[in-house]
Structure 1
């Protein structure tokens, strides 16, 4: 298609278009200075309209589309139809500057690629309240029409097992989707999905619905191989595929003759086209749907966007001016020291913070060589200030010469600006707004890199080596923000860096989901704050930073009052500190725990429900709200699980009286049902339900392994659980879940039966009967573990006595929670009953960020 464009005409017109847009910007500037000057805005609109017409005439439709969106937004500004006029005017200036650059790229690359300017197109549309364009709107694969199967073939595929199979496949797909939405065990969930789609591909082979499953299968496989991350957009497409499976389950075999919606296939194929996977299935799909012609490669689009996204010369000049002014101030301070008596070398410490800020800003902007020179001088000045080097004339002149070299190098990077020499009044010597915006934009890019490192760490099976670049990225952004200055955001990043160095980089145990969520919330909050600053540098973002600081506080860290005085060189962990941290790790309790022996359900990600009225207890701020759509999926899945239990549990009971063999298929289905309730329940925080389901699943595992016989006690328990499940599910659906004695008793009976112990009764006295004998091995394991938890609590109490307002630590929270759960499982009910209210108390204090007082400590 490129050879159809008239590049000669573009060569003639692009200079004229650039001049016309410059005039349009000048008219817009006049309107911005005087909003009552309607003639200026009309002139701007007329000039942009001319550009649009010219681009349409020479048939460069991508560029013409950008010009059209500029014209539409200019018209909306003129008619006062925009909700944010200042933002819209700035966006027009940006777009008018970008269009000539885009035309230059079209001319040099010989292709008009609208995908390159799609983000800018959507910004322009969003400013006037229009729906956004997607990359798929420019994506046109050659969809294949598959003929419907005849009645004979449908009858052959309509087996008695088909409805049950489809129902099981959907349950598996829903559970995997729920896991993806909670980002828990992503690789495992994708593996389940791959099996489901592969089976559906076989069932719908050569049928109109078949392409959906083949494409979905290929997409999930490429996600498994790391080509795509678990994003909301992909999850949305997979949920749409689940809707098609639901339709198929409802319609039966006739449903395979109805193809999937074209937009769904198109959206899925769009991701296939973007993948660089060389798997045979992927290559076959790309050939079958002609995807190479429908969408250019990622490398082409990314390269072109990178060329378009770079800062223009005017903005770079402004940043360089600011950096050079900072260097001049450093040289002036150095000169004062040189001219003095040089007795107080500690005065050189004052040079360190500005030099660090300059070095970090150079790193963010990608100026590697000048930054290296500044880093070298930092080491020299630090040595002089600490008395490690003599402040001789030669040493000091070397520092001054290096600073002068960096200053002249930076000035040469931007070059001369001929237009600025003609219009000296148009560009201030120090344009702070441009400096702030450029630094903030680059800081956001580096923060995104930091988030990618954390995601890579999670996807890489918690390999700490993948976190190596993280601290350097955080420090870069922190230094740049401190220079602008955005001191509070910089201090939050400094505290994030402390947490990463003191925990993620050294702890042997992997971080919990709550800890990762808190870290992600902090970084995302700072990123959102910077986004708001880009939109309006006068905006007040304290509320956003407050939320980020709350997330940081849940990790046990608070920002320093003055981050500018914290030496960045000292943020590197020394060898002595590493040894000290190793000593701390040696104090951790033994790795063998009662939870491992009994496959305990207790988990920091899934705390038990609180035994208080929900109306008096707000949601814990350390747990994000469960997605409403995820709740609906779970409740629908729970209903299906109940149906399965009502079908298979009676079948299993009936088979128990038929001799030495029972219906193993029915038992497997029952166990799978409780496994589903446990896993999915934890994902949506259906805490009471998941704890009950786990206890029953644990018991059924023992039955399947032959360790427990399914006698009358087991059957009676199973019947009572089935009768109770609807009310527990209803509590969750009504947001009314709370600790229930009936659920606790059933769970305790299930655990006791699983461990070969006598099931506890309703009588508390009976549960403490003198004649009851606990498992000695189990009791010894519990005793060792409990002593470790009690030591943790004792250390906390000792430290709390010396603190004016002690706060609950994560270690105390884990100790009480694990002690409670272990006591329940070991059957040491007196300790369990004592630990339960304490666990509840500290969770409330921790969740609401309340310092514990003397009465509670006593």
Structure 2
């Protein structure tokens, strides 16, 4: 009270109510309020102070006082921290020993004996601290470890993972005990709540560690991309993902663990094992799978809802990559000379048309719309190089086509002989390189088509290397020039093998490896091509079974002709679609647009024939054959084998009917009608919200039976196809078409050769001979259709092929210009029209190239933003962790401050009691002094009055 009096006096004297007061000046007021709050007397003034300052709420509760007292003695934070650190150190040693045992596959279980003793010490320590639940868990695991060491229990991975889970549980229990330091028994949670809380701690620890592993894996992939596809950067990723998968198994989450296994298998088999470089779409799909699993772990850690929807993204991504359902484990390679195993067939079409055709040929027509069937058999090795002739492909390829191909092959070798010296002089000139690349592109497509697969694969390796030069990925170094020279000198050997005049002596497998190595950026010179005869003999290998190649779409044609496509209504009814079994599929939007326009026109031809056949005119026509052939090639180009497997025997059935001149049976007419329904259903299904295509296995079997019921067709008469006039007209027509084969892939002659010029001077003869006129008109329409297909196929061609086609058209325009000088006036007008059309197409391609560059820039920008987002997430995670550590530090400081505060309060109470005693003593002395002064004053006053009286 003396302190309050002194402070009040100072305020009155100094007029200090408006001046800010120091913290020390408020101390007397706080002490006074403290005593008022604890006062038991009932007085109106005390009640007013209680209400004004809400003193009842400011008093500490009994539990808070008990908590503070517990911090000053007994099991305080410092003590628990010291003990917990020692326990965690023991647990860390046990976990390290278990991890080492699992990694090395150690069979000596006696090495785990020290860990049993360590777990016993941990259990005793936890019991001393009063952590009965944690002590019981560790004691159980100690018993289990003792059983494993003594041989009473197998040392399997599951038992050791249980021990690891118990150790994580103990870590979480220790932290929770420190957090509840000083809590009363009434405030302690129930046993079930404690278990749930500790389980949440375990989940949080596991999720945090798993997310950290994901971050490390993500950094490895960033390094993989930034180092130019260095597969060594991915070496640790499978181990990181395997640890995350083990954590998910511990949490009893088998589904995300299985998806993570699919991601790990893709990395091990495709990226590390086969050392493949994913394209843009595969990289995006893989990133979606990895990011969705990481997002699922974050949602699991934060206990968010609808977590299963996140896993749907993982499943769809793995299905696109061909790793869900999980394929069988790959067997190790046995033969060193065996060709590299082809990658699993993708579920959807991706990359460019060249990779699409290569994947379709490697698959041999297998159904790509369904998940790949796992096979435990090792891939068959290719035939020896000495047997690199034509493969047997059935009745789709005639000997005449192969003869034309061999002539084209010889012309392409001569063409290379003229082009290579110019390019060697200036290797950096891409304009001189483009026609060389196109030669190998032509040999690749034509070779695969006619069954010369060895030539096709060899040409593809060289073309792929030149593509890297043209798109700027690598320079035209001396290694590239040397590789092209080796390929040029090897082509005559392949030509001789195809003619049956000799065998290939060059080591094609080594050349393939050199081309791939140089394409990846290696500057080492290619190894010298050696004869396989010098290689140590190996066990003979049986050639792999060969299946017929699927018909290929038209890739190029000489004369550009625009053919308008008439829109045709979709005749597929709901009833027809409901009767078909549908499977999921996916086609690029641009390819689907081409496919729709292509198939719609030919379905009109098929429908018209079915209508005539139903009316009794069931004679098969060449128009019907061309329509089925074109649709078959179109569906094969878009990698929809479920539809092509029905179209291929249908085309063969009609071809044999045309060759035999026999009409179709009622069953055949019905089958052709159903075939049109299947094609319509495929187009409609691909255009729906959930793309799908029909499966027509039963229809395919019926068509195969109908086809096999007819005799095989005789070899095709090219002279009859070009024209049936006597004399030199057929020869002239064939000679007129032959030069164009130099710049045209043989894919245009896969199933039917229908190119021929319609002579306008024969109009009267064509009118008189109706049958001949229909045939020639059909050939003209077919030529226009082939040209339309070429234009559409070029539009789909990837960006890096755009410039090459421009060069090819320029050469074609120059050749046509030379012919224009030699031709008559009306021929000159036709060539001029073709030149104008070529310029229009070139302008369209330039616009497409600019659009492609814009899209590429957007993709790069999106990747940059994604990288920034991931970096921001990492920084945010570090910030949150720092905040958590800071919060723990502040909490420790707060508890310590409370302890000091209580000590100070005790000291202040004693000080107040001392001051109070001093004050009372001072008041007593002051009262006595005042009383003495009063008596003295009264005495003096009396004496003064007495003196005045005496004076009076």
TM-score tier, shorter chain, comes to under 0.3
- Provide TM-score, normalisation by structure 2: 0.25
More RCO (CA 8 Å, sep 6+): 2
Whichever of the two has the greater Rg, that structure is 2
